[in-house]
């Protein structure tokens, strides 16, 4: 079967389908509609046709594109038209998951299959409401029961709608926890500090403080060190320079919770 013959049919199938279609789905549907015993579409042909369709709709001329999301192929509007399309379904786009629901969903996504008691052990709070809401939104499904646990509790996994909702093709596309943790570790928080040096107060980052400290004349004579109990400050005394940094009511003001 020629690619030029099956490409329009693949486009029609993906466009009309209410759910994402895999390459295997497309092969079966095409052969049911067009195939003959001696001339049937193969998986390789469908993959080549899908690749051609992707390239075709990636052009700027089209407002939509072919993307693999939710476990299969879908026609989706391009992100630059989000605000335009949002006018049709404003309420749908404005709906957001609560923090509790997101935390619960994240635990299920990374730990699935998992029971509700295991979710609650991780979160430290009751998860009945959050799990119920996720079930109602079809983001998680009941995958069975844990036969080895006492009472044989229900076990939960993410659904295909979950992948579609977050624009991923499988749970393997989720960011790795180790990568997220490493990214958090390497991002240093720079806090502006008020520093008094030789009776001159400047506001600087740690890098600027270091550069300015090097330029200051070495002062090895120290006659008085303020008492931290009386003025709420501390004095760092070195052989080269005395740096007095005020602390008090602004302590911790720049940190985020």
For residue 255, pLDDT beyond 80: no
Provide the pLDDT confidence category of residue 171 given band limits of 50, 70 and 90.
confident
Mean model confidence pLDDT for the chain: 74
How distant, in Å, are the alpha carbons of 59, 90, 102 from that of 64? 9, 19, 29
Across 22-38, average pLDDT: 83
Q: Could you write out the three-class secondary structure of 161-220? A: HHHHHHCCCCHHHCCCHHHHHHHHHHCCCCCCEEEEECCEEEEECHHHHHHHHHHCCCCC
Predicted TM-score of the model (pTM): 0.54
For residue 257, pLDDT beyond 50: no
For residue 112, pLDDT beyond 60: yes
70 versus 191: the higher-pLDDT residue is 70
Task: Identify the helix (H) or strand (E) that includes residue 53.
Answer: helix 43-57
Across 35-40, average pLDDT: 67
Q: What is the pLDDT of residue 192?
A: 43
Q: What is the pLDDT of residue 91?
A: 59
Tokens representing 241? Answer: 């320079």
- By the 10 Å C-beta count (0-12 exposed, 13-18 middle, 19+ buried), 228 is classed as exposed
* Domains of the chain by start residue, with CATH: 3-86 (1.10.10.10), 99-185 (1.10.10.10), 193-246 (no CATH)
Q: Omega into 113 within 30° of 0, i.e. cis?
A: yes
For residue range 141-160, list pLDDT tens digits in order.
Answer: 999 998 888 889 999 999 88
Q: What is the pLDDT of residue 82?
A: 82
């Amino acid at each position: 079967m020629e690619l030029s013959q099956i490409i329009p049919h693949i486009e029609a199938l993906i466009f009309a389908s209410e759910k994402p279609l895999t390459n295997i789905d497309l092969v079966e549907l095409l052969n049911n509609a067009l195939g003959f015993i001696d001339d049937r579409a193969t998986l390789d042909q469908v993959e080549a046709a899908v690749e051609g369709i992707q390239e075709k709709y990636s052009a700027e001329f089209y407002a939509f594109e072919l993307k693999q999301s939710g476990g299969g192929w879908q026609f989706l509007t391009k992100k630059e038209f989000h605000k335009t399309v949002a006018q049709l379904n404003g309420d749908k786009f404005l709906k957001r998951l609560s923090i509790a629901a997101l935390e619960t969903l994240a635990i299920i996504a990374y730990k699935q299959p998992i029971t509700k008691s295991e979710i609650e052990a991780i979160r430290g709070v009751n998860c009945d409401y959050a799990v119920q809401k996720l079930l109602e939104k079809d983001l998680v499904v009941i995958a069975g029961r844990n036969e080895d646990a006492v009472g044989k509790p229900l076990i939960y996994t993410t659904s295909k709608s979950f992948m579609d909702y977050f624009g991923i093709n499988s749970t393997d596309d989720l960011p790795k926890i180790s990568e997220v943790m490493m990214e958090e570790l390497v991002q240093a928080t720079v806090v502006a500090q008020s520093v008094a040096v030789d009776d001159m107060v400047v506001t600087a980052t740690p890098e600027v403080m270091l550069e300015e400290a090097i330029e200051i004349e070495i002062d090895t004579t120290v006659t008085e060190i303020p008492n931290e109990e009386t003025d709420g400050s501390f004095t760092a005394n070195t052989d080269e320079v005395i740096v007095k940094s005020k602390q008090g009511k602004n302590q911790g003001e720049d940190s985020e919770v």
